[in-house]
Amino acid sequence: TGGSDPLVRLFDMRMLKPAVAAGGSRAPWLHCYVPDHMKGALTLPVVWHSPVHRLRQITGIAYSSSGQEIVASYSGEHIYSFGTREHARTYDSVFRYGG
């Protein structure tokens, strides 16, 4: 899978609703993961689509065999490993309090 921004999102499939039923509300992801040096762009969504951040799109994601880490690769960047507990961020911690 991939994405158009630097966030790796973890969803609970039981909480997903059809787009029409969601009524335009934010997606119900549980946690997200992002390299520290990419966090600054998260509060400025317009910057995500700049040429610099377009190179930092997610190109692949995988769980480790233990399920304790998520590994993500980014276009024009490195491959990052995130601990599923210690690196998890909520929507509020990223967008309301600056991550």
Cα 50 from chain centroid (whole Å) = 17
DSSP bridge pairs for 58: 74
* C-alpha span between 88 and 11 (Å, rounded): 12
- Which pLDDT score is estimated for 56? 74
CA atoms within 13 A on the CB side of 37: 7
pLDDT digits (tens, 9 = 90+) for 35-77: 888 876 665 555 545 555 455 788 899 999 999 999 999 888 8
Is residue 14 within 8 A of residue 39, CB to CB? The reply is no
On average, the pLDDT of the chain sits at 77
* 6-21: average pLDDT: 76
